[in-house]
Amino acid sequence: MYETHFGFRELPFTITPDTSFFLAQATHHEALNTLLVAARSGEGFIKVIGEVGTGKTLLCRKFLASLAESDFLTAYILNPYLEPLTLLRAIADELNVNVEPGSDQHQLLKALTKFLAGSYAGGRRVILCLDEVQAMPLETLESLRLLTNLETERRKLLQVVLFGQPELDARLAAPSIRQLRQRIGFTCQLRPLTLPEVDCYIAHRLTVAGYRGPRLFTESAVRLLQRCAAGIPRLINILAHKALMASFGQGLPIVDIEHVRLAATDTESVGNSGRFHRWLPSWLNTHRQSA
């Protein structure tokens, strides 16, 4: 690939949620702090909302990595599109709770209750993180509420963090789960990155990847990249990676707006947009001189 050409130790713009690349931009820093405060205060439900590609999974992994193992036990369910009984089994499996094969819902709840009470007595709180919760069936969401009914006089025995796309809010508006909605103590909203944040984001990932040279992405390239990606980190990574490939293919030491244009044209979610082709020519005419 292009690592040697640009002096990278590793690829800087992969789309896998690697916490070593986590950057506490305003929106993500605020969300991480909120999650940590909520976890330590013992809130039952916490909600994190963000559009596709805004970094919810990376934030989740960073949050879990930030919790002291001496104080917390954690479980992470990546695919919550599960029936209530199957979800309970998945939670038990994540927490290494011993349950008999073929256990019914009552038996699973009994085993989980015993485990949660024992963890609390031992000074460790249990936090369950669920990703892509907008896809969770309503009856499964309701079963989560019943699970979080388990509590002492002072604290919940289980805290649940819901990560989801904006559609999650519509699902939570359903009258059948209004009791769950009332129990959400903290809400975080991840927003797209602004132009200055994109500039910092790119510089940060390049530095983590080992780059130590002069500015690699021109200012105009960053402006076009932010505009094409609409500030969405996943799209920024995709476009930046392809732009680096284009620059490497030409044997150049920098990434300019032409490389970003080629990357955007080659990216289905951007280049196939009629709106993209309408505004791009005039934008390039305005900004090409400073590239």
Express each pLDDT in 169-186 by its tens digit. 998 998 888 888 888 988
264 CB-near residues (< 8 Å, 6+ apart): 224, 228, 239, 270, 271, 276, 280
Rounded Cα distance between 262 and 3, Å, is 20
Per-residue pLDDT of the chain (291 residues; tens, 9 = 90+): 889 999 999 999 999 889 999 988 878 899 999 999 988 888 778 999 999 999 999 999 999 999 988 889 999 998 778 888 899 999 999 999 988 888 888 888 889 989 998 998 898 989 999 999 999 988 888 888 877 777 665 677 889 999 999 999 998 998 888 888 888 988 999 999 999 999 999 999 999 999 999 999 999 999 999 999 999 999 999 999 999 999 999 999 999 999 999 999 888 777 565 556 566 666 666 665 444
Task: Given CATH 2.40.160.10, say whether it is the number of domain 26-190.
Answer: no
Rounded Cα distance between 109 and 95, Å, is 13
- Domain 193-273 has what CATH class? mainly alpha
Domains of the chain: which residue ranges? 26-190, 193-273
